[in-house]
Structure 1
């Protein structure tokens, strides 16, 4: 049963997407659930949004977070979009199990979406039940908040609630609803939705809206649509470089999972690498490695090319001219990604200045790590310690199967450091601020999810959330959270959860 807005309950929504033409979305309310119960509320984020955490945690607030009650001021909609999924185009996808409650202006003056995920079927559900299971909801909560703490642009979790109902997947699982916050939920696939329908009016309205909402400085550009394309390219090149710098694998880089805002969105079969290998794939549905760790930069350009194609009618009336402008923008992507990637690795290796030989030194380290089963996170955290104390080289070399090969690279790294001024302790501190000690290691995430889903035990989830909120700090009381998995703990596949 769907519900109507309750004018007696008001949240400070300031909706703009719902002012766009009706073909941009479907208007509907969430579907009620039997017995909602709050699992976790992100109180800091609530305050950031200008919302009262105590109210959201109250029975009335939980009803809103579950979709049982729609607050006055909310205009619930399911957004329409299309997308390429594993390279195959689907002309209509849309929010099949999510409903945008509305937008709020946060305490910094930024517009933010508040969306329920797992809130019931919509016109875009494609025979799905529109529901979510507790495990995937908690996974998105963990990974999104970990990414935020790592300084990577991301959607965030405001709350998770259980529904008191089971959802049927391979077996019956406890149902849940995630409240997700984003700069917006507009995707590359949103532009594709209008492009495939040859809806130029819709494309122009969407382009104008995105510029006004996300990139208002582009409004006065000679060619705003071309400027928008270039800005999104900049954002995605930087974002994917940041993923790579912490060993993150998105898992489903479909065009409907690429946010125009430059935030990481849709945490399904995501994972962080333990042992470094560019071919690493965790997603159980990525049978051919399309979205492997090392493929992410190339897929980023592929997705952006699809955005460029969708924008052609808006970039210029003359198609040949539009293609020329778009191609020039797309051709700039590899250089932008590489610049962000190498700049990030200079920070990770403690280089305050740039030298021409740095990319080769980075590549040599990557090749050695891959050939010698070195743990990605521990290698760079170890180098952070070694920058301040040469005796810590032993901890780094111990991570490599061939320690002699590691010694050779360490000697080159130390020689490179001698060509820069700077106090070793300051260098080590700067490196520790970019090389995390704690990531959401897959085995720890799975242990937390299994405890919550199978035993109703949220203690491992809460502890993991707390540790990951301080990824760059030394936390000597939880050394087990820094360790790679034992052989029996290795997670080889993660699942979308839909």
Structure 2
């Protein structure tokens, strides 16, 4: 059983709609994250039972749950939408883990809510498997992220362009509060709700903060650290809208996300990002833009407006030095360098060479410790010049092996796992999941997943899960 303590549901009704999940026809368990269940203090055997599966599918609301759909607004590709909200997700409630940490348990794909607009509130199997694999890889690499507790097949057909098998993801997060949650109340001029939300976020995530400006300072630091970690893994979120930026600093909403194969800073995968707003190299700037929207929401709570604007502006501008320090630390580790080594010069020179030759991002960095990086360059002369300078600083192989995964959830492997899953075969999904949740571990049975895609396997576009 789950013991809930639902602090968000105790906020005023305007923060959410009280709505339960919509039952499904024939739920069956596809995957259960037993390690995460243990982290939460939940019994895996109960989650596998008919009663547990019924809860994970949305067919039964457990005792103590208070299911809600959260309200939020958001800038989507720069255009503001004053009301979005959980259109296909229901927050069952919050569980306090054995160590005292608090987590949301949310069902994603659980049916219509008052925020669904014209959507059906459902998810199909593909995006559920994608988020399950990618979020757990990110966790394995130490990236702050929402996590996947379970995936359940619904036994129903979800209609997109064609009929597809339906599924529900059980997502776990420190919270699901977004920049867009603050925007929802700010655009309505509801300062009382903004103050209540600010107090809630401080109590839940930043107890060391002493007011709205201090809260902003802490969120800026968390986001700078998270984005730097994304960059070091070649991760592209794909939809960095303000409703997809969690104030906890966690990575949230794995829609058209992807990892680069061949490196180029302007890489975009998302089918809806036609202008490249959320390209790999643009992500730090977008984070600053999103944080400026959060700052705008908090200014009315900061007293004198002119002084508040100046203070909030300084807070947002602090992103740059924090991000730069985090970037240098991450890429220094990837190069095996610490101390006074010229990390920025060496990292930028290597990235320029990689972009010029479209070398594979993950394989180059993973190959530095083992001596195979040179083979990733069609013309290795440029790499050789760089490597002589790099080796002069005596890089640490152990540091590189920890920072650089041998395997990532490559786009073509995810697509293969989804295609097989749609046909009823979860073997490729399980193979991929096992390998990418042990991303630094060398095993012969996982060697195939470390390979770059062949030309015919390259995925050019990824798509939203809606």
Gap runs ≥5 in structure 2: none
Deviation of 1:24 after TM superposition, in Å, equals 0.3
Which residue in the other structure is 1:415 paired with? Answer: 392
Deviation of 1:415 after TM superposition, in Å, equals 1.8
Whether contact under 8 Å (1:40, 1:160) holds in the other structure is yes
CA–CA distance in 2 between the matches of 1:460 and 1:19?
42
**1:366 maps onto 2:351 in alignment:** yes
Pick aligned residue for 1:375 from 339, 342, 360: 360
CA–CA distance in 1 between the matches of 2:340 and 2:10?
48
**1:201 maps onto 2:192 in alignment:** yes
**1:266 maps onto 2:253 in alignment:** yes
Q: TM-score under structure 1 normalisation?
A: 0.92
Whether contact under 8 Å (1:252, 1:269) holds in the other structure is yes
SS in 2 for 1:217: coil
CA–CA distance in 2 between the matches of 1:80 and 1:14?
20
Matches within 5 A, 1:2-401: 11-218=2-209, 221=210, 224-314=211-301, 316-355=302-341, 357-385=342-370, 392=371, 395-401=372-378
Matches within 5 A, 1:411-450: 411-417=388-394, 427-450=396-419
SS in 1 for 2:376: coil
SS in 2 for 1:75: coil
CA–CA distance in 1 between the matches of 2:226 and 2:75?
20
Q: Which has the larger radius of gyration?
A: 1
CA–CA distance in 2 between the matches of 1:278 and 1:483?
21
Q: For residues 324-350 of structure 1, give each alpha carbon's deviation from its aligned partner in whole angstroms, at most 9, with x where no partner exists.
A: 010011111111111100111111111
Deviation of 1:400 after TM superposition, in Å, equals 1.2
Whether contact under 8 Å (2:336, 2:398) holds in the other structure is no
Number of equivalent positions: 466
Gap runs ≥5 in structure 1: 1-9, 386-391, 418-423
Aligned-CA RMSD value: 0.9
CA–CA distance in 2 between the matches of 1:354 and 1:124?
52
SS in 2 for 1:93: coil
Whether contact under 8 Å (1:384, 1:435) holds in the other structure is no
Q: TM-score under structure 2 normalisation?
A: 0.99
Which residue in the other structure is 1:6 paired with? Answer: none
Whether contact under 8 Å (2:128, 2:169) holds in the other structure is yes
Whether contact under 8 Å (1:451, 1:460) holds in the other structure is yes
Deviation of 1:358 after TM superposition, in Å, equals 2.5
CA–CA distance in 1 between the matches of 2:184 and 2:444?
50
Deviation of 1:403 after TM superposition, in Å, equals 1.2
Select between 361-370 and 93-102 the one with higher mean Cα deviation.
Answer: 361-370
SS in 2 for 1:235: helix
CA–CA distance in 1 between the matches of 2:398 and 2:388?
21
Whether contact under 8 Å (2:25, 2:155) holds in the other structure is yes
